[in-house]
Chains A and B, each alone.
Chain A
Amino acid sequence: MKGIFNVLICLLFPIAWGALINWIFIFLERRTGRSTPPDPRIDYHI
């Protein structure tokens, strides 16, 4: 039981953390009214 719980933590924690950081950055961008500016040195492929 403890092993299954550990495996679930290993699988879900990275996704939950990533989603949380993504949400925080989206929230900050909306609050400040600006998004991170693209780097002018980048030759974008899209």
Chain B
Amino acid sequence: MNVDISGIPVNILGLVSLGCISGFLSGFFGIGGGPLITPVLNILFGIPFPICVGSTLSRTAGTSFSTALRYWKFGDIDAKLALMMVGGNFVGIELGVYLLDWLDKLGAINVGKQSIPALQFYLQWLFFGVLITVSGLIFIESLIRRGRRSRKQPLGLLQSLPIPPYVSFPSSGVRQISLLAVVYSAVVICVFTGLLGIGGGVLFVPLLIYGYGVETHAAVGTVSLIVFFSAVYGTATHAMRGNVDLGLVVLLLIGSTICAQVGAIANQRIHGDSIRFCFAFIVLIVAGMICFNLLRTIYG
């Protein structure tokens, strides 16, 4: 049984299954799953990258909203920090979407013996780089956790940046940090949101903890709200360019919403460090899949 996604017949069960797997991973690891879904939709189902990016962002808007509500209830969200980054998020997303349009207009390029869209070739390389970086960050974070004896919060690297004006985030434990460091780091990360359709959670959490020195609980909660704002704006921007396929979003959300609960239950029964290593392993598998596809394109 197939459904038409921007002119390409795609198996409904396949999409629901992908939604289930991504939902389980979201619930299990507490990370949106955007970096995993977008390349899989493109490589396995053959859906064009702009549609994958727009639709994945739309799905992320739905899942991050429920996550943000949960963290708001727990009091883990620093609204001041999240709202302050919104301006940077919007600019970053616009730049990312502009880059996506520019790559799309490049047309086809010759790679090896075949001609493929430049957008597909370059974005696959970019995804490969992002996924390798993410898995590396998770491994490094696990090693730091093991090596750290005291439970003291690490001092944020960006806190020492001597560029005024300064702002403070008392509820996150940040006494003073440069406003420029806060807003421009949001711009840089959100370029990836607009370009690749990733919510940015995997990049924002380490930035807040090790860059700003935000306490871990507050960082995870605040990032859920930041990702929600980014995903909503990203969805609107991509929807105006016709990059959001509602059918695809609904099919992904059906599986995601159900299996996210199963993932959250499974999360309670497994140790945190094991969860991180599992996630890094899954990210590496997807990176391997992209690498294999690229090598096949180049040498096949």
Contacts and interface: CB of A to CB of B under 8 A. Distances in A.
Interface of A: 9-10, 13-19, 21-22, 25, 35-39, 41-46
A14 B87 contact: yes
B187 A14 contact: yes
A17 B80 contact: no
B213 interface: yes
A30 to B, nearest CB: 14
B183 A43 contact: no
A17 B170 contact: no
A22 B167 contact: yes
State which size class the interface on B falls in. Answer: 35 or more
B155 A17 contact: no
Nearest to A25: B80
A40 B151 CA distance: 14
A18 B88 contact: yes
A8 to B, nearest CB: 11
Interface centre among A14, A22, A36, A45 (most CB of B within 10 A): A14
Contacts of B217: 39, 41
B84 A18 contact: yes
Contacts, number: 80
Interface in B100-124: none
Contacts of B84: 17-18, 21-22
Given A43-B151, A43-B152, A45-B213, A38 B171 contact: yes
Grouping DSSP codes into helix (H, G, I), strand (E, B) and loop, the B interface class, with mixed when no group exceeds half, is helix
Interface string B136-151: 0000000000000001
A42 B87 contact: no
A23 to B, nearest CB: 10
B259 interface: no
Given A14-B91, A15-B183, A18-B87, A45 B80 contact: no
Given A39-B215, A42-B215, A15 B173 contact: no
B180 A39 contact: no
Contact of B183 (A9, A14, A35, A41): A14
A14 B152 contact: no
Contact of B88 (A14, A43, A44): A14
A41 B171 CA distance: 10
Contacts of A37: 170-171
B169 to A, nearest CB: 8
